[in-house]
A and B are shown apart, each in its own frame.
Chain A
Amino acid sequence: MIQFSGVSKYYDKEIIFKNISFTIEKGDLVYVTGPSGVGKTTLLKLIYCAELPDEGHINVAGWDLKKLRQGTIPYLRRNIGVVFQDFRLLPNKTVFDNIALTLKIQDMHPKEIKENVDEVLKNIRLKHKSYLFPLQLSGGEQQRVVIARAIVSRPSVLLADEPTGNLDSDTSAAIMKLFKDINAKGATVLIATHNETLFQGSGRRTIHLRDSQIEKETIG
């Protein structure tokens, strides 16, 4: 589903990745970890085409990202749900509208949009706050809205960047259960985190990044 082969990435002169390769199969749930600033967010950006690799090839859901035309990028992104580390919620839209936006972009019928959004709102237990604006929510609540927006369109790939950064352990556990359910329904899930409790004892594959390289892979 996601394949990196010989990928290098530089920002100006700073080396982020040097010749890294790995493959994530369809239906996997994989963690990416490593110290702050190692490039976890950059790795996800490479997958949803917000950054391009300087060397090597990336293949996502059958698309060779190097050969992707500008006009095709939106259609790639519709297959990828992203939980952004910096949230990227629109402050002038309500919780409901923020989540609905993903589906509006995909030209879904308003009635279906309402059904789908209501369902995820129930899953993240924020139905009662659907008409508030992002800034009227707590950090953890905002994080749950971002997660809801990423999963509402049932993407085949889900990228979650530090999805439990603002959550207490109970809510974290609930969210992780949500990811596992989505994964069980066939979605490929990639979670970037430095919260070791997420992957330790999970029995899932974990990619450890350090010094522009994949340091090791473990089964948590």
Chain B
Amino acid sequence: MRTLVYSLQTAFKSLWHEKWINFLTILSIGTSLLILSAFVGVTLNADSVLKRWAKSFGLVVYLDNTLNRKAEDRLKDFFQQDPDVLEVKYISKDRAIRELHEILGTNASILEELEGNPLPSSFELRLRRELLKPEIVKRKAGEIKQINGVEDVQYGEKWLSSLNTLSKAMKIIAAFLGCAIFTAVIFISYNTIKIFFFARRHEIETLKLLGATRSFIRLPFLIEGLFIGIFGGIISCLALFGVQSLIVYKGADILPSIRAIIVSLPVQAYILVPLAGAFMSLIGSFIAVGKIKY
């Protein structure tokens, strides 16, 4: 317990005494963590956009033009009972032509050339979100197409697959970036603690001769590393909060609804980032003092 007090005192003295090296170290760690958490923030926002899009993603099932109303209702029941389908929306051929009228507006007169209504009735199916993978959707569309009375199935195939690639790519980049920054932070604090250790090697030699244990000698360095990591994390949190506020503040001029759209990092992140910094920095310090021998 008293050793802990002593170690804390020694660590804080060293933090203050070597404030410039420490400041630069904290800044480097802070920057690294900022890059990481900013990327996580971007990924979160991209993911929320993807989710938004995915919500409106649907399969359009065009029905055979010869199908009567009863057969169409049977098909509707069939789709509604399918566990993969979240929602079924029926668009009658009458409604389809009306919508087309609206879209064409003043050009609608060209429709009058047509005999009767050439548009088929259709269902818009919304699938469960977990199924929104290109292969699964493709298979599902193929199955539906086989059903009697279904003329054709259409969906945004290209759009879905690029959406998927994008989300996969972001996850891979996040993993890589995470590893790289993990290593970088460890190395940064390893280096700094190593320098401190080297600068105090004569003092450490004397401490050993006076009967100091390994932990007595190491603890101050580990505590110092720990605090360097925490401070780095705090700095990156402050910077992140600043950047985010700026985006919301400035962005509100361009896109007034930005406040509702942007996903900010969860509150836990502001605890998690300093903890992560502390953890990484502690590992670096451990490696740095690992070579203290008798």
The yes or no verdict on A and B being binding partners is: yes
Interface residues of A (CB under 8 A from B): 48, 50, 70-71, 73-78, 82, 84, 88, 90, 92, 101-102, 104-110, 149
Q: Is the CB–CB distance between A107 and B211 below 8 Å? A: no
Judged by a CB distance under 8 angstroms, whether B216 is at the interface is yes
Query: Could you write out 7 A-B pairs with CB less than 8 Å apart?
Result: A70-B293, A71-B213, A71-B214, A84-B209, A88-B209, A101-B210, A105-B210
B residues contacting A by CB (< 8 A) are: 2-3, 6, 203, 205-214, 216, 293-294
Contact, CB under 8 Å: B6 / A74 = no
Chain B nearest CB: distance from A155 CB in Å? 9
- Point out the residues of chain A lying under 8 angstroms from B294, CB to CB: 70, 73
In the complex, which residue of chain A has the Cβ closest to the Cβ of B207? A105
| Contact yes or no, A107 B212, CB < 8 A | no
Among B207, B209, B212, B214, contact of A50 (Cβ-Cβ < 8 Å): B209
| Given A105-B216, A109-B2: A74 touches B206 (CB 8 Å cut-off) | no
* A107 and chain B: residue at smallest CB distance: B2
Q: What is the distance, in angstroms, from B200's C-beta to the closest C-beta of chain A?
A: 9
Contacts A70-B294, A73-B294, A90-B203 hold; do A105 and B212 have CB atoms under 8 A apart? yes
Q: How far is the CA of A46 from the CA of B293 in the complex (A)?
A: 18
Contacts of A92 in B (CB 8 A): 203
Considering the complex of A and B, which 7 residue pairs feature the smallest CB-CB distances, nearest first?
A77-B211, A78-B211, A105-B212, A74-B211, A88-B206, A74-B213, A70-B294
A82–B209 Cα gap in the complex (Å)? 9
CB distance from B292 to the nearest CB of A (A): 11
Contacts of B213 in A (CB 8 A): 71, 74
Q: Are A75 and B2 in contact (CB under 8 A)?
A: no
Q: In whole angstroms, what is the CA distance A48 to B211 when docked?
A: 10
Chain A residues, Cβ within 8 Å of B214? 71
Chain A residues whose C-beta falls within 8 Å of the C-beta of B212 in the assembled complex? 74, 105
Of A76, A78, A90, which one neighbours B206 at CB under 8 angstroms? A90
Which residue of chain A has the shortest Cβ distance to B203 in the bound complex?
A90
CA distance A88 to B210 in the complex (A): 10
Q: With A70-B294, A73-B294 known to touch, is A105 a contact of B211 (CB < 8 Å)? A: yes
B209 touching A48 by the CB < 8 A rule? Answer: yes
- Closest-by-CB residue of A relative to B17 is A92
Per the bound structure, the CA–CA distance linking A92 and B207 in Å amounts to 14
Q: How far is the CB of B19 from chain A (nearest CB, A)?
A: 15
Q: How far is B208's CA from A102's CA once the two chains are assembled, in angstroms?
A: 10
Q: Do residues B211 and A102 form an inter-chain contact, with CB atoms below 8 A?
A: yes
Inside 8 A of B209's CB, which chain A residues have their CB?
A: 48, 50, 77, 82, 84, 88
Cβ of A104: which chain B residues have Cβ within 8 Å of it?
A: 2, 6
Closest-CB distance, B219 to chain A (whole angstroms): 12
**Whole-angstrom distance from the CB of B291 to the nearest CB of chain A?**
14
- Within the complex, what minimum Cβ distance (angstroms) separates A143 from chain B? 16
The interface residues of chain B lying within 8 Å CB-to-CB of A73 are 294
Q: Which residues of A contact B208 (CB under 8 A)?
A: 74, 77
Closest to A82 in B: B209
Nearest chain B CB to A72's CB is how many angstroms away? 10
Chain B residue nearest to A105 in the complex (CB): B212
- Distance of A61 from chain B, by nearest CB (Å): 13
Taking A48-B209, A70-B293, A73-B294 as given, write out 11 further A-B residue pairs in contact, using a Cβ cutoff of 8 Å, ordered by the A residue number: A74-B208, A74-B211, A77-B209, A77-B211, A90-B203, A101-B207, A105-B207, A105-B211, A105-B212, A107-B2, A149-B210
| Docked pose: A106 CA to B212 CA in angstroms | 8
Bound CA–CA A76/B294 (angstroms): 13
Separation of A101 and B206 alpha carbons in the complex (Å): 10
Q: In the assembly, what is the distance between CA of A110 and CA of B6, in Å?
A: 10
Q: Which residues of chain B have C-beta atoms less than 8 A from A70's C-beta? A: 293-294
A170 to B206, CA, bound (A): 29
Give min CB distance, B233 to chain A, whole Å: 30
Which residues from chain B contact A90 at a C-beta distance below 8 Å?
203, 206
A77 engages B210 (CB within 8 Å): yes
The residue from B3, B210, B293 contacting A102, defined by CB atoms under 8 A apart: B210
CB of B12 to closest CB in A, whole Å: 15
A75–B211 touching, CB < 8 Å: yes
Query: Quick one: closest B residue to A155, CB to CB?
Result: B211
Chain A hits for B2, CB < 8 A? 104, 107-110
Tell me how far the C-beta of B156 lies from the nearest C-beta in chain A, rounded to whole angstroms: 68
Q: Which of A71, A74, A82 has the most CB of B within 10 A?
A: A74
Write the nearest CB–CB distance from A154 to chain B, whole angstroms.
13
Kindly list chain B residues whose C-beta atoms are within 8 Å of the C-beta of A107: 2-3
- What residues of chain B lie closer than 8 Å to A110, measured between beta carbons? 2
A5 to B6, CA, bound (A): 40
Least CB distance, B224 to chain A, in whole angstroms: 16
CB-nearest residue of chain A to B206:
A88
Residue ID in chain B nearest A48 by CB atoms: B209
